[in-house]
Structure 1
Amino acid sequence: MSIRISRTLKRSTGLDIATAPPDGQPALSRRKSPRRAGISPITRRILAVNLLALGFLFAGMLYLDEYRRGLIAAELATMRSEANLFAAAVGESATFADSSGTEGLIPLMAQQIVRRLIETSHFRARLFNEDGTLVADSLVLGGPGGSVQIEELPAPRTEGQQVKDLLAGYDRILTRLWSCEDLPLYVENAVQAGRDYPEVMLALSGEAATTVRADANGGMVLSVAVPVQRYKQVLAALMLTKDSTDIDTAVLKVRLDVFKWFLAALAITVLLSIYLAGTIARPILRLAAAAELVRSDRHRRHTIPDFGTRRDEIGRLAAALRDMTQALWLRIDAIERFAADVAHELKNPLTSLRSAVETAARITDPERRQKLMNIILEDVSRLDRLISDISDASRLDAELSRENSAAVDIRRMLAALMDVTESTAMQRQVRLILDVDHRRGLVVNGVEGRLVQVFRNLIANALSFSPPASAITLKARREGKQVVAEVLDQGPGIPEGLEDDIFQRFYSERPQDEKFGQHSGLGLSISKQIVEAHGGTIVAENRRDPTGRIAGARFVVRLPGE
């Protein structure tokens, strides 16, 4: 029977009362949300963002080109100072003057001085005379058996040397990739001459010069050339050279230190990112799983987890989901009660119709038949009125959510309603009195059409209970942040203990002289629904005279004011 009534309502009102399908399955689709094993997407995103920032920082710290340039400049300055000292020593001790006063260089003595001076340093010294001929080379020893070239042997292989070589190769690769300079290649001819080195030619012209070249192994060769002078006469050029081993070692040490700190920062970042992702992803996954269980649970055995102790967005999300779930259950309960109430209310006129139709088929008396036909018409009108009110009540929430709120002046609205209702009141010999506060604003934010419906229902209800020669008073005032409106009548009042029941759906307590079925019992229920949707309250109470007797009913509407 209930399913048939629900379908009837759907055809008549456009409503779709929630009913279970015939197979007993829930009406909602059971679409399963996808689940992925492993790291959650939120965790991956947090890790990616944090590691990307750390990676850029690490790359920037590894870019030590400026630091390398500083080391090169410092090394060249040191070499230049040493070269000036060596050149001064050679100029003072390895020169001669002929009979004409011309200064000259003593090659053998210059070789010995250069060799002795260079023993305490890590430089290679070469001396070129004024025509560019190589006179002395600290890597070449002369003796009875001829010249011998000195080459420094590589350090003996130690434990871990392979790792050091790999790190050195890695450092050279980084240097080549990130170096902004395109250095000339260092080439050493078998027979060396001053013209092979531009810095030597500058030194022979009296100017000190420095040069940085790249060697075949990916390193650098630092070169400084200074003039060897005697009384302002340039006798030779002294060139000191050195590879970049010390500089590369210093840069590599810095990079290794940076790398160690990077590994420590990486570990901390990963752990903190996983922890952060866990505090976000795990609760969200729990909420999603709980929401899925709640959606598929028909017996309300599952609830949304309570993260009320968290003072963050996750806690707010959990609270919102819990409130939403509770609101959905309440809405489902309300729909079920509404469907049951509708079915119950429709049974009475349907039963009356059925009885009248069955009786009319057996009666031949035209007068009695006409009387039954009038009953049938009244029941049909009652059904039509009932279904219209049901349709209005069922659409109310949706329409209130769609309509835009605006400022509503309660004073102006009550005055307009009084003008519209005055003719009906005069027919019933009832006076309408408007008593509003003109000193303070009585403006609320709401849907004017629906608020008009509330007070129209209250005034119509008061008119139906007001005896002739009585009055209905419309009051409005401001109480703090609320606007309070009252509708007072001088009727029989409200039965004791039923002040709240009159707002229930389909409740009807009508005057005895009123024809049955003229009201659906939804007017006050709809009014309460509208007022509560505006964040207000509506209550009903009895007015009493000084003797304590009931003097009428009072309906009080409180709405938040602007």
Structure 2
Amino acid sequence: MSVNIIAIMILGVGILYLGQYTDSLIEAELESMRSEARLFSGALSEGSVRPVFQISPIPFEDPLEIEAIKPELARKMIRRLGAIGESRIQLFGVDGETLADSHILAGAGGTGSMVHMERLGPTSSLSLNTLFAQSATRFLDLIPMQTNLSILPKEALDDIFAFPDTKEALVGNIATHAWEHNGQIVLTAAAPIQKVKQVLGVVLLTRDGKALEQKIADIRVDVFRVFLGALGITVMLSIYLSGIIGKPLQRLALAAEAVRVGKSSHVDIPDMSKRGDEIGELSLVLRDMTKALHDRMDTIERFAADVSHEIKNPLTSLRSAVETASRIKDEEKRQKLMDVIHHDVQRLDRLISDISSASRLDAELSRDEMETVDLKALMLRLQDAYKKPMRRAQESESDDDFENTAIELSFPDDQNFFIAGNEERLSQVFGNIISNALSFSPAGEKVKISAEKQNDSILIKIEDKGIGIPENKIKTIFDRFYTERPGHETYGSHSGLGLSISKQIIDAHNGKVWAENILSKNGKIQGARFIVKLASI
């Protein structure tokens, strides 16, 4: 997870900050040393420079009075200046001779034995905080930090003509540098001792970077503390997220894998809807998907069983007729058996064609594009399709003459009946229901089709004056292979898939279709009514 890189990001940002922080500290220290060198050179030029007499190079002339540094005065001043600062102060003459050094204590009058002095570092006590700081420093030392510092030329420190800072000072400039020596930072600054623009000597300040390194170490420890804190939070967050996200997702993944493998007919997907988050929504979607998949599998199994049963009937009849025909000698009886065989073959052909259409319907419906359909115009075309050909040819252009057809339309003239759907599929639905209604209607009776609007829906009602529907069959007439035909029709002329396909198409349009009986006041069945409900636009 992305939360796991938080600690690494904080460490990386801290390291980048450390580099910038170190550079800024070095620049500040160098600027301080530059000011310090300028101040010391000014003080020395005023306090240690005195007029002295020099023998004239021209014979018999009086000695020349010149300005020169008095070493005795310079040593005293440097000793005092060195005591108030942290830098080592060295004074050189223009000839390169060392005139004074704050780390060397000279004898009386500047002569005699000299003692080297070193500053004592602070005493350190071993504590938990010290151990932590040392551990943090060792850890961060493993990460290389680029300081871009030059190596200190230690052997050139006492040679003012070779050391870069003192070379700059000899020409009247103040120079500062940061160096690296044995893994530590060393800062230097050099300034000229001048009188009336004449360089009389050079003062060199050298300071170790222990204080600077301590500040850097402190900030490194702070960065390490933040890193450890972020690491701890990251670990706790990872454990927490693993419990509330990782494990539930793993349970869902295992359940989905069990569904894929299909070792059991029904696999329960964990219900996590009470979580109220995305994982809860995912569990609901997976449960709905699994239920839909199981329902589809059950439907396919029932469909296969129904198909097997429906095909067996004509096949059994066909086999019986073929076996009998081979033993019958009477030509008239043989012809009757051949008619039976021909009828069963036609029945099988019709059944297989309808089964093929029904099995492809789901896939075809998912690819069909919805368009605006005018139901009034659609019903007028269906009405015209069920007229007898001769009457259709002789009919006038007026749409008000319904005497030549067995279908009567009743649509309000002041209303539009538009829906979003597939006109060809809807024509198949209404054509199938109208065909059934016509087949059950007695001679001379009309099939009535009416429409009305109900809130945001349109209701299409198709009524006939037939024998109605058995009360115990009203809900099963939309099942596959259900057949309930009028007595005048030949058995096997219908596959029993028409209404099932019609319901499937209406469901794909997010509509409803149902049937009911038309009852008289005394409860007698006077016909059947099919109602189709579709969303209006």
Deviations 1:404-453 (A, max 9, x none): 44443333322222222222797997522233355555333333332221
Residue 113 (structure 1) aligned with residue 77 (structure 2): yes
Match of 2:45 in 1: 91
Residue 238 (structure 1) aligned with residue 203 (structure 2): yes
Match of 2:12 in 1: 59
Distance 2:254 2:525 in 1: 57
TM superposition shift of 1:491: 2.6
Q: 1:65 to 1:360 in 2, by over 3 A?
A: closer
Q: 1:157 to 1:254 in 2, by over 3 A?
A: closer
Distance 2:390 2:436 in 1: 12
Match of 1:27 in 2: none
Which deviates the most, 248-257 or 421-430?
A: 421-430
Q: How does 1:20-419 map to 2 (within 5 A)?
A: 46=1, 49-63=2-16, 64-98=18-52, 102-143=66-107, 146-152=113-119, 159=126, 177-179=145-147, 181-183=148-150, 185-189=152-156, 192-207=158-173, 209-229=174-194, 234-294=199-259, 300=265, 302-419=267-384
Distance 1:171 1:121 in 2: 31
Match of 1:536 in 2: 511
Distance 2:273 2:164 in 1: 79
Distance 2:281 2:508 in 1: 23
Distance 2:159 2:377 in 1: 110
TM superposition shift of 1:222: 1.6
Residue 560 (structure 1) aligned with residue 525 (structure 2): no
Q: 1:117 to 1:336 in 2, by over 3 A?
A: closer
TM superposition shift of 1:337: 2.5
TM superposition shift of 1:304: 1.4
Query: Is this contact kept in 2: 1:172–1:219, CA < 8 A?
Result: no
TM superposition shift of 1:262: 0.5
Letter in 2 for 1:507: Y
Match of 2:399 in 1: none
Match of 1:525 in 2: 500
Q: 1:98 to 1:296 in 2, by over 3 A?
A: closer
Q: 1:77 to 1:329 in 2, by over 3 A?
A: closer
Distance 1:429 1:490 in 2: 18
Letter in 1 for 2:466: G
Match of 1:487 in 2: 462
Distance 1:528 1:516 in 2: 24
Query: Is this contact kept in 2: 1:536–1:559, CA < 8 A?
Result: yes
TM superposition shift of 1:323: 1.8
TM superposition shift of 1:69: 2.5
Which deviates the most, 471-480 or 240-249?
A: 471-480
Q: 1:106 to 1:489 in 2, by over 3 A?
A: same
Query: Is this contact kept in 2: 1:430–1:472, CA < 8 A?
Result: no
Query: Is this contact kept in 1: 2:314–2:344, CA < 8 A?
Result: yes
Distance 1:429 1:364 in 2: 51
**2:410 counterpart SS class:** strand
TM superposition shift of 1:322: 1.6
Which deviates the most, 300-309 or 242-251?
A: 300-309
Query: Is this contact kept in 1: 2:151–2:181, CA < 8 A?
Result: no
Query: Is this contact kept in 1: 2:33–2:176, CA < 8 A?
Result: no
Which deviates the most, 501-510 or 348-357?
A: 348-357
Distance 1:236 1:438 in 2: 117
Q: 1:197 to 1:426 in 2, by over 3 A?
A: same
Which deviates the most, 143-152 or 500-509?
A: 143-152
Distance 2:142 2:344 in 1: 97
Q: 1:480 to 1:271 in 2, by over 3 A?
A: same
Q: 1:441 to 1:239 in 2, by over 3 A?
A: farther
Q: 1:437 to 1:255 in 2, by over 3 A?
A: farther
Distance 2:299 2:138 in 1: 77
Distance 2:440 2:506 in 1: 22
Distance 1:455 1:463 in 2: 12
Query: Is this contact kept in 2: 1:430–1:468, CA < 8 A?
Result: no
Please list every run of 5 or more consecutive structure 2 residues that lacks an aligned counterpart in the other structure.
54-63, 393-402
TM-score, normalised to structure 1, is 0.80
Query: Is this contact kept in 1: 2:150–2:180, CA < 8 A?
Result: no
Distance 2:447 2:530 in 1: 11
Q: 1:147 to 1:168 in 2, by over 3 A?
A: farther
Distance 1:228 1:252 in 2: 37
Q: How many pairs does the alignment contain?
A: 511
Deviations 1:203-227 (A, max 9, x none): 44444x2321423313232222234
Query: Is this contact kept in 2: 1:186–1:215, CA < 8 A?
Result: no
Match of 1:16 in 2: none
Distance 2:132 2:526 in 1: 103
Distance 1:261 1:472 in 2: 85
Distance 1:163 1:539 in 2: 81
**1:240 counterpart SS class:** strand
Query: Is this contact kept in 1: 2:169–2:175, CA < 8 A?
Result: no
Distance 1:164 1:306 in 2: 51
**2:10 counterpart SS class:** helix
**1:103 counterpart SS class:** strand
**1:503 counterpart SS class:** coil
TM superposition shift of 1:92: 3.5
Q: 1:103 to 1:116 in 2, by over 3 A?
A: same
Which deviates the most, 388-397 or 534-543?
A: 388-397
Match of 2:396 in 1: none
Q: 1:201 to 1:530 in 2, by over 3 A?
A: same
Q: 1:410 to 1:150 in 2, by over 3 A?
A: same
Query: Is this contact kept in 2: 1:507–1:521, CA < 8 A?
Result: yes
TM superposition shift of 1:202: 4.1
Letter in 1 for 2:84: T
Query: Is this contact kept in 1: 2:133–2:221, CA < 8 A?
Result: no
TM superposition shift of 1:178: 2.3
TM superposition shift of 1:521: 1.9
Distance 1:138 1:546 in 2: 129
TM superposition shift of 1:165: 7.1
Letter in 2 for 1:188: E
Which deviates the most, 112-121 or 376-385?
A: 376-385
Query: Is this contact kept in 2: 1:430–1:466, CA < 8 A?
Result: no
**2:301 counterpart SS class:** helix
Match of 2:56 in 1: none
Q: 1:132 to 1:517 in 2, by over 3 A?
A: same
TM superposition shift of 1:136: 0.8
TM-score, normalised to structure 2, is 0.84
Letter in 1 for 2:160: G
Query: Is this contact kept in 1: 2:136–2:224, CA < 8 A?
Result: no
Match of 1:463 in 2: 438
